[in-house]
A and B are shown apart, each in its own frame.
Chain A
Amino acid sequence: MLLLILPGILYFLIYRYIPMAGILLAFKDYSPFRGFADSPWVGLKYFKLIFEDAEVIQVIWNTLQISMLQIFFAFPISIVLALMLNEIRNQVYKKFLQSIVYLPHFLSWVVVVGITVIFLRSEGLINNVLVNFLEINPIPFLTDPALFKPIVIIQVIWKESGWGTILFLAALSGISPHLYEAAVIDGASRLRQMWHITLPALKSTIVILLILRLGNVMDSGFEQIFLMLNPFNMETGNVLDTYVYFKGIQQANFSFATAVGLFKGIIGLILVVLANRLAKKFGEDGLY
């Protein structure tokens, strides 16, 4: 048994828990040349820097905005899409629609961002239509800082909202048909059935997924954002994860980047715990 569990234990120890000890870097003036042990302790110096740096504040703000916009727009769309799919009576048509809306989930972000670039660049399809058919000036979609967030949200909706329906559809298929039959006898319309039977059945799935999403509010999709960033949209697009990469790996400012990463991790942890408590207060199961 020891032999069976050993690879897994070693993996978690080396690649998941030793890095947690590496968090101590945030309290040191780490330089790769001196090594970990010989780098001097500096206490909370880098955490103070986080709050003095206007750029970090902007980056935190970007992260929260993008996450919140995702929760407000992408999350409800999955629920609505699941409800709509659930209303389809023809099972073959339903299966067909499902296999199409799930597909984008399995594409890489490079492909999705690549498609976006092809459609939105100055000589791309959308601008061609704008210029030739609507006779207006081309829009610099990819470099306009004001358009970064809307485009990123639309990408997430396109890629993930279909896949997001799976758990809702699973919950919907668990509803007993007797409930609907009884409602019909009582004279309830389809809309009333949805309001009194379907939506309550989705409540706990919605709560659990919302907790998970709130806990990840400091993550706003690293690969996607990284691929969408360019020198023109840094101001509105740079988020915590990409900032840590630019500061830590590209500029070798290891300790500061670790501090930013740790700050992000701790806020995330606190948010999950709080959201979980909140869910339990509302009589739901919660995550753990």
Chain B
Amino acid sequence: MFKATGGERVMEIFNNIFLLLIAVTMLFPFLYIFSVSFSSVSDVLNSDFLLWPKEWVTDAYTYILGSDQFIRSLWVTVYITVVGTFVNLVFTSTMAYSLTRNIIGQRLILFLVLFTVLFSAGMIPTYIIVKETGLLNSLWALIIPVAISPFNLIIMTQFFKGIPEELTEAAIIDGANDIQIFSKVILPLSKPALAAFGLFYAVGHWNSYFSGVLYLNDPSKWPIQVILRQIVIVNEPNAALGGHAAMVEALPPPETVQMAAILLATLPILIVYPFLQKHFAKGVMLGSVKG
């Protein structure tokens, strides 16, 4: 490339180091939490600064995984994530595809969808509708009211528009109806896009906290994020884990339980992260193409 002047080279080195520092601030909390979660009682009490466990102890993890409440909330979240994402994809893709075909009122529908991005009724009227449709205290309350993200719908419509029309025309000549065209021609071509949208919806479900608080009264239905808040932020790990503390001989220190809980609740995100990363640059690019 071009020859850099001395000053520019200094700037470049500075830039590299500064970015490395930023990366360290992003990773440091994880390293610290990881280390404390595997540390022994005495190490946690006696050292201020643990960056790597001195001796590996898994008490905190066995304690948490022995809690019925914790396991139940994990299953609730898995259920909401799997079913919720499926509902998201079905609702979003069918509507997005319909909007690419020339249907009556297409422009009006698109306007009404866009309008919901700009203005929403607010928490109370939405809460009342969820209540009136009988979803209160049901896991469906975390799925149906967020079945379509208008933003994702608009992006997916753009994506379907990019599929060559000739394919649809050929299918029509072959006598396929709309549902057949959608399921046999369009969907198979859209697998990577659907995977990307699915991942984003799934992360949203996994991380969602507030709708659990708002719509579910029954603690046995609480998703993992609600339990995690009790453990860490409210600082009552033993109560939140369902009081099976009495059955454990020596309780692990609360700090280690809190950090282990954070890691366990974040693990699925970390596992899908490489896939997310592969897809999101593409997803954001799709979104930035204006139609």
Contact = CB atoms under 8 A, between A and B. Distances in A.
Interface of A: 1, 3-5, 7-9, 11-12, 14-23, 25, 81, 84-85, 87-89, 93, 96-97, 99-104, 106-111, 113-115, 117-119, 121, 125, 128-129, 132-133, 158, 162, 166-167, 170, 184, 189-190, 215, 222-223, 226-227, 241, 244-245, 248-249, 254, 257-258, 261-262, 264-266, 268-269, 272, 285, 288
Contacts of B196: none
24 contacts: A4-B97, A7-B147, A8-B94, A9-B109, A11-B144, A12-B116, A17-B112, A22-B125, A25-B128, A88-B16, A101-B23, A101-B26, A106-B273, A108-B209, A108-B266, A115-B33, A118-B259, A167-B284, A222-B210, A244-B124, A245-B123, A254-B124, A261-B123, A262-B122
Contacts of A162: 26
Interface of B: 1-2, 4-5, 8, 11-12, 15-16, 18-20, 22-23, 25-27, 29, 32-33, 48-49, 90-92, 94-95, 97-99, 101, 103, 109, 112-114, 116, 118-130, 133, 144-145, 147-148, 150, 153, 178-179, 182, 203, 206-210, 214, 225, 228-229, 232-233, 235, 255, 258-259, 262, 265-266, 269, 273, 276-277, 280-281, 284-285, 288, 290
Nearest to B91: A7
B5 A184 contact: no
Task: Pick the most buried of B97, B122, B126, B210: most chain A CB atoms within 10 A of its CB.
Answer: B122
Contact of A113 (B120, B182, B233): B233
B124 A16 contact: no
A87 B17 CA distance: 12
A136 to B, nearest CB: 15
Contacts of A107: 207, 266, 269
B121 A100 contact: no
Contact of A1 (B22, B103, B114): B103
A12 B276 CA distance: 28
B118 A215 contact: yes
A198 to B, nearest CB: 14
A261 B124 contact: yes
A189 B277 CA distance: 34
A264 B15 contact: no
Contacts of B113: 12
B118 A269 contact: yes
Contacts of A115: 29, 33, 262
A111 B266 contact: yes
- Per DSSP, are chain A's interface residues mostly helix, strand or loop, or mixed? helix
Given A7-B90, A12-B112, A125-B48, 15 more contacts: A19-B126, A23-B122, A88-B19, A97-B20, A100-B27, A108-B208, A108-B209, A110-B225, A114-B233, A118-B259, A170-B281, A223-B209, A261-B121, A266-B119, A268-B118
Contacts, number: 238
B23 A97 contact: yes
B214 A249 contact: yes
B125 A114 contact: no
A87 B4 CA distance: 13
A114 B232 contact: yes
Nearest to A269: B119
A22 B288 contact: no
Contact of A265 (B120, B145, B225): B120
B124 A25 contact: yes
Contacts of A7: 90-91, 94-95, 147
Contacts of A226: 210
